[in-house]
Amino acid sequence: MNPDRPSQPILPKVGLMLPGGGARAAYQVGVLRALADLLPARAANPFPVITGTSAGAVNATAIAVHADRFRVAVGNLERVWRNFQVGQVFRADTLSMLRSGLHWLLAMASGGWLLPPPRSLFDNAPLRELLGNQFDFGGIRRAITAGHLDALSISAAGYVSARSVSFYECRTGCEPWQRMRRAGEPTTLSLDHIMASIAVPFLFPPVRLEDEFYGDGSMREANPFSSAIHLGAQRLLVIGTRNDTLPTSPALPMCPSFGQIFGYMLDSLFTDGLYSDLERLTQLNQLVDRSGPLTSPSGGAGPGTGVQLKRIDMLVLLPSRDLSEIARYHVSSLPRALRVLLRAMGAMNAGGGQLMSYLLFQQSYTRELIALGYMDAMKRSEDLVAFMGGYPVSSSGATGIMRRLAARRGVREGLQQEKRAEAQ
């Protein structure tokens, strides 16, 4: 044991935060598999607070409904991801793709007179059926009652209110919250909440929850860590699906294709809020370290005496490889009709790997991502065990990631200055 560690740390309430990422979320499953192997065989869920967005909401729910046996929960989740086929997520057969294409064509050619505009590019009814068969949502309440779970939160974005809403089910004592463009609302979670959270704009249809239609939870989610903190998490394990600290190879300037632009949009949708909130929380932790616990001016939407701001330790696990590059090696496994569509969008060209990496719900790809997540987590097994046990992991947490990001920005700016000097 490290002599610098305290002998009996006070176990904190660890929250699990799973952001969106489409098919990339298979990486999260590999990390969770590694953690399950590091814990005792019959251990219950080690995360009192679990939050998920988009595809991360699926993984979060899978852990919550079987919170009494963490290894069983992860095993069930891994079995689904290891055997994924695109047809289990959305209809990608030739007839369905042709019907969708003709619908779009007739709607645009007639200005909506012959056919109304389609609700989405893909029909994700197969995913609704799959998740409906996999999840017993009553298990969430049973886990909370038995003490294996404090709260599960699933985020979605309202198209009318323009808010990011964290729908949560929790033990007594968790109060709802209101902030600018975001809110937390207690509810009884259902399949509709997951389908709303994964409703990526244009790709999948929006879902009605009560009196409003909702879309993918990554939209408007400027503070993805907030729901876990509001629900009582004292430190956060974050499993991302994109690593912006990885070096990128220089590319010739080319006009991006539609597929490349759409992949760029999905990348921004799923990761920009995560990195900006990571930077904000890192700066807040540094301020608390220097000044001690602080008090914010307001505790919510109405008047109040304020809330105390404390340090929130984070351990962030990110892929050690570029998942877009991995996706390019598995394109041939996609259904032919979907490959034709991606080729027409320019997603098969250089730079189109981002879009494919989010849509490649094929077992050859998801299995490689699970293996990568497992390997990355096992390389940091000491950090994981220490973090779950309440010990500090400062050098491997969010601060280290922000330093690497700053260093990469400095290198990029230096190269740009050199190019400008050469041009002059």
Give the residue numbers annotated as catalytic, written as ranges.
Answer: 54, 216
Task: State the chain's maximal CA–CA distance in angstroms.
Answer: 75
Are 156 and 165 in contact by the 8 Å Cβ rule? The answer is yes
DSSP conformational letter for 7: S
Are 185 and 193 in contact by the 8 Å Cβ rule? The answer is no
Tokens of 194: 């997951």
Are 188 and 144 in contact by the 8 Å Cβ rule? The answer is no
DSSP letter for each residue of 127-156: HHHHHHHH--THHHHHHHHHTS-SEEEEEE
Tokens of 259: 């597929």
Q: One-letter amino acid identity for 67?
A: A
Residue 266, CA distances (Å) to 179, 269, 271, 321 in order: 25, 5, 8, 18
Pick from 304, 302, 309: nearest CA to 230: 309
DSSP conformational letter for 254: -
